[in-house]
Amino acid sequence: MTPPETAPEGEPSPLLVERHGRVATLTLNRPHRRNAMSTAMLGRLDHELRKLTDLGGDAPGALVLTGAGGTFSSGADTREPDWRDLSRRAVRRAHFRTVFATLHEAPFPVVAAVEGYALGGGLELALACDLVVAGEGALFGLPELGVGAVPGGGAVHSLVRRAGRGVAARMLLIPGERVRADELARLGAVERTVPDGGALAEAQALAASVAAGDPALLEAGVRLLRDSGHLDRTAALGVENGYWWQAASAANRDPSPPSGRL
């Protein structure tokens, strides 16, 4: 495992790690920059996610991702000194893509707790989670076109799939467009809204409830969710069948229930 890049001297760790029982919480910790994702933050997030997924039987039952200081993340840190250096941007992008891949392969569900802003890469990170809990006034947006970029972490695909093409087009193409959490909840991209300031507590309670389930069945369920949601029905049923047998075997259940019963 490649060691993560460290934060600049005198700057606190860009990521906080907590574990309470079967729930782990990773907190983006650059509140003075609205948790803009620096190279050091992305490296640490990549590193800590892989550590959690490599714990085997000691892995958490669920993970919460959140941000310090009342905001989730304003996206990539465009004020980094080497922002325009293509090779360094490629390093950040590699970290980002690894983070998304690790989230997709994690054997436990991941819950985003969103307050304030989730913009650009911050929105992509939230939508890469299995469930999104947000303060009702949280704002989501894709400002990339205005800073000389396009989204590169799957946000457009995720928005089209979870909320529809119309809202994806608004957020991508209209300068300064921000969509509130309560609207995204009505469209299906946010699973639960709470009064502002309550997203983390709600997300951790939700994660604890989920994590109380059988670990083998929980892993099969979350992998089924991620691997079948984008497929047509025939392909999805094939994936579902594979995970059904996996879960039945892991739980040591009779794989041939009586006729007429599940």
Q: Are 144 and 173 in contact (CB under 8 A)?
A: no
Catalytic site residue from 36, 76, 168, 189: 76
| pLDDT tier at 259, thresholds 50, 70, 90 | very low
Could you confirm whether 248 is annotated as catalytic? no
Backbone angles phi, psi at 187, to 5 degrees: -85, -15
Identify which has the larger pLDDT, 64 or 91.
64
Instruction: Output the pTM of the full model.
Output: 0.87
Give the integer Cα–Cα distance in Å for 104 and 114: 19
Q: What letter would DSSP give residue 81?
A: T
Helical axes 155-162 vs 165-173, angle rounded to 10°:
140
- Decide if 124 is catalytic: yes
pLDDT tens per residue across span 78-109: 888 777 788 877 888 888 889 999 999 999 99
Task: Give 192-237 pLDDT, tens digit per residue.
Answer: 999 999 999 999 999 999 999 888 888 888 988 888 877 768 876 8
What is the Cα–Cα distance from 121 to 152, expressed in whole angstroms? 8
Q: What confidence tens digit (pLDDT) does each residue in 39-58 have?
A: 899 999 999 999 999 988 89
What are the structure tokens assigned to 9, written together? 């001297």
DSSP state of 35: T
**Residue of 121, 122, 135, 141 marked active site:** 121
Single out the catalytic residue among 5, 144, 191, 219: 144
Give me Rg for the CA atoms of the chain: 19
CATH code: domain 15-211 is 3.90.226.10
The confidence score (pLDDT) of residue 10 equals 59
pLDDT of residue 37: 92
| Residue carrying the six token digits 């959140």 | 66
What does the pLDDT read at residue 204?
98
Helix (H, G, I), strand (E, B) or coil at 98: helix
Active-site hit among 124, 191, 202, 219: 124
Q: What is the pLDDT of residue 251?
A: 60
